């Protein structure tokens, strides 16, 4: 585990190099070791939007979804972040031992978890095809 000052220094350097270009930040994160990258992607040094882009390589939906993630520290992904809804179901972005995923939940029960590119779209499809 990397000490906080070192992790903060690395995050500052990456953000400066990326110069507000999220795609460039994703590429810079790709160059880090797996452990260091995961530490950054689940820390307060990046936001959940940046983590979402890294794990899924796509936008999280519309402006509201992106804004929700931008305003949330990436550390919250360890508990799960409600970032979208489909019908009466919640779409929750989380990072755990199995990697990043989008969970379909009713707030109490998780019905399904989707990973990889297109996870959000598959989660929405799942709700309308199986639950709504």
Residues 53-88: pLDDT tens digits?
Answer: 999 999 998 999 999 999 999 999 999 999 999 999
Give the H or E element holding residue 10: helix 4-18
pLDDT number for residue 102: 97
pLDDT > 90? residue 132: no
Do residues 87 and 128 lie in contact, with contact meaning Cβ atoms separated by under 8 Å?
Answer: yes
pLDDT number for residue 106: 95
CA 57/CA 62 separation, integer angstroms: 15
* pTM for the whole structure: 0.93
pLDDT band for position 30 (50/70/90)?
Answer: very high
* Cβ contacts of 7 within 8 Å, gap of 6 or more: 36, 39, 40, 43, 45
């Amino acid at each position: 585990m990397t000490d906080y000052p070192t992790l903060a220094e690395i995050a500052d350097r990456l953000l400066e190099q990326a110069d507000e270009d999220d795609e460039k930040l994703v590429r810079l994160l790709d160059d880090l070791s797996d452990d260091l990258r995961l530490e950054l992607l689940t820390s307060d040094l990046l936001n959940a939007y940046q983590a979402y882009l890294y794990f899924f390589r796509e936008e999280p939906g519309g402006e509201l979804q992106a804004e929700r993630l931008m305003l949330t520290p990436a550390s919250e992904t360890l508990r799960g972040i409600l970032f979208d809804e489909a019908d009466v179901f919640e779409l929750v972005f989380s990072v755990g031992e199995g990697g990043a995923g989008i969970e379909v939940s009713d707030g109490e029960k998780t019905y399904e978890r989707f990973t990889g590119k297109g996870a959000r779209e598959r989660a929405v499809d799942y709700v309308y095809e199986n639950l709504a």
